[in-house]
């Protein structure tokens, strides 16, 4: 299934199953992302990488979640190639996950180790938090197994 088809199916499921519901901490990271409606590409990528069960697991996790607009910054051919390469996709997605629940108030500047094994740099300047070259645009979306912080750019591991 092509990425566009996966997004369409996920979008339909999300709008049907979660219509009118609010985001609540009784949903895990995956269900919270689906219900938000702005992470369709991320959810499709998580499914393609086979990471759904992991992110529905006990956790705790902190996910720096790129929006659909963040994924749209990646050229289509490059994104399609990434989705088709499960190993590379897994590496990119797990680079966005920290194996602990870190609320915005607890974020400190410096290197942060990811589930992928690498680290990204957190910086804080004039009240704006950035992770690598991505800006954090929304914080503290609480899930039953962690927290989501929304970022505006997909981070690529070094």
Q: Residue 43's pLDDT band (boundaries 50, 70, 90)?
A: very high
Residue 24 in any domain: the answer is yes
Domain span holding position 8 = 3-151
Mean pLDDT for the chain overall: 86
CATH code, domain with 8: 2.30.180.10
At 158 the pLDDT is 83
Residue 157 in any domain: the answer is no
Asked whether residue 137 carries a pLDDT value surpassing 80, the answer given is yes
Residue 156 in any domain: the answer is no
SS3 per residue for the chain: CCHHHHHHHHHHHHHHHCCCCCCCCCCCHHHHHHHHCCCHHHHHHHHHHCCHHHHCCCCCEEEEEECHHHHHCCCHHHHHHHHHCHHHHHHHHHCCEECCCCCHHHCCCEEEECCCCCEEEEEEECCEEEECCEEEEEEEEEECCEEEEEECCCCCCC
At 126 the pLDDT is 86
Asked whether residue 50 carries a pLDDT value surpassing 80, the answer given is yes
Q: Residue 93's pLDDT band (boundaries 50, 70, 90)?
A: very high
Q: How many domains does the chain have?
A: 1
- What is the tens place of the pLDDT at every residue in 102-134? 999 998 899 999 999 999 999 988 888 999 999
Residue 110 in any domain: the answer is yes
Residue 52 in any domain: the answer is yes
Residue 89 in any domain: the answer is yes
Residue 158 in any domain: the answer is no
């Amino acid at each position: 299934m092509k990425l566009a088809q996966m997004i369409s199916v996920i979008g339909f499921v999300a709008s049907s199953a979660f219509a009118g519901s609010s985001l609540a901490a009784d949903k895990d990271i995956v269900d919270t992302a689906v219900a938000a409606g702005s992470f369709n590409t991320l959810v499709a990528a998580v499914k393609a990488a086979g990471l759904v069960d992991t992110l529905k697991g006990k956790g705790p996790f902190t996910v720096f979640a790129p929006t659909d607009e963040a994924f749209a910054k990646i050229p289509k051919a490059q994104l399609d190639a990434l989705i088709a390469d499960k190993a590379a996709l897994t590496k990119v997605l797990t680079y966005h996950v920290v194996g602990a629940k870190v609320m915005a108030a607890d974020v400190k500047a410096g290197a942060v180790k990811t589930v992928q094994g690498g680290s990204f740099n957190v910086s804080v300047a004039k009240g704006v938090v950035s992770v690598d070259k991505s800006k954090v645009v929304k914080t503290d979306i609480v899930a039953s197994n962690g927290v989501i912080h929304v970022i505006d750019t997909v981070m690529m591991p070094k």
